[in-house]
Amino acid sequence: MHPVRKQRLYLVLFIVLASSVGVGLVLYALQENMNLFYPPTKIVNGEAPLDKTIRAGGCVVPGSVVRDDKSLKVAFSVTDGASVLPVHYEGLLPDLFSEGEAAVLTGQVDHQGIFNATEVLAKHDETYMPPEVADAMQQKSPDYKEHTATCGEIKYDS
């Protein structure tokens, strides 16, 4: 083989190997930072990973919000119409957070089945509901229009 061709072959092999390593590292980093959405039913049934950051969402169950008098700790429950998920959060809640309205949570599920939220997002107007929450609620309760309790525009079992 001619020395120039041999040198080009080594260069091409080095470029292919280096780019493969780079793509592998990027994919590994992205995998560690993905926050998958799980509705309350999947979390309650144990389908969500424990101690890994995930997103959850549903409607805040009316009457479930309990605030600690001496700290910023708040306990409440969210539902997708089929299951109720207990949530613990420490921090300031968004101004639009209220009972009977949609919320999307970021956090981890512990071994007792409690969702420890690190971030709580509330809907931003009276007609909006996060698409993940609306889809999860509609899948679990196709006859949602017959129920009396509502979450934004979606009705659910209370």
Residue 128 pLDDT: 57
Output the pLDDT for position 130.
60
Which tokens belong to 94? 């968004």
The dihedral through the CA atoms of 85, 86, 91, 92 has a sign that is positive
Contact status, residue 39 vs residue 80, Cβ threshold 8 Å: yes
Domain 37-156, second-level architecture: Beta Barrel (2.40)
pLDDT of residue 144: 43
Residue-level pLDDT at 1: 77
Q: At a CB cut-off of 8 Å and minimum separation 6, what does 139 contact?
A: 39
| For the chain, domain boundaries | 1-33, 37-156
What H or E segment, with its residue span, contains residue 127?
Answer: none
**pLDDT reported for residue 148:** 39
d(CA 149, CA 27): 43
pLDDT at 95: 85
This prediction's pTM: 0.67
Query: What pLDDT is attached to residue 119?
Result: 93
What per-residue confidence (pLDDT) applies to 90? 93
Give pLDDT tens digits along the chain (158 positions): 788 899 999 999 999 999 999 999 988 887 766 768 888 888 988 888 888 888 988 888 888 999 998 999 999 999 888 889 999 999 998 888 888 888 889 999 998 889 999 999 886 655 555 666 667 666 665 544 444 355 655 554 44
| Amino acid 16: pLDDT | 95
